[in-house]
Amino acid sequence: MQEQLLHFIWQRKLFNHTDLLTTQGQRVEILHPGFPNQDQGPDFLQARIRIDEHIWAGHVEIHICSSAWFLHTHDKDPHYNNVILHVVW
């Protein structure tokens, strides 16, 4: 799986988005997947996500493996402070 393919799938919502859950089992609804980022920082900007009863607005980062968050040092990069969802294959 290539990350660019995941971006394509995410942007067009070409996945079963009716039964999405967080790692803690919370229901996730993609209200708007965000706009592709052509600059540094998260993959998609200005997304809107409902997690259980709360609506979040912010950025989305997509990886093949969850460990890539730390491998790419996103945890230390202020560009990623407004990430509301880390999508992992």
Q: pLDDT tens digits, residue range 23-59?
A: 899 999 999 999 999 999 999 999 999 999 999 999 9
Are 3 and 63 in contact by the 8 Å Cβ rule? The answer is yes
Q: What are all long-range contacts of 8-12, with beta carbons under 8 Å and residues at least 24 apart? A: 10/43, 10/44, 10/60, 10/62, 10/87, 11/36, 11/44
Residues 52 and 27 sit within 8 Å (Cβ to Cβ): yes
Can you give the pLDDT at residue 25?
94
Question: Structural domain boundaries of the chain?
Answer: 3-88
From residue 84, how far is each of 1, 2, 29, 44 by CA, in Å? 23, 22, 13, 11
3-state secondary structure of 13: coil
pTM for this predicted structure = 0.91
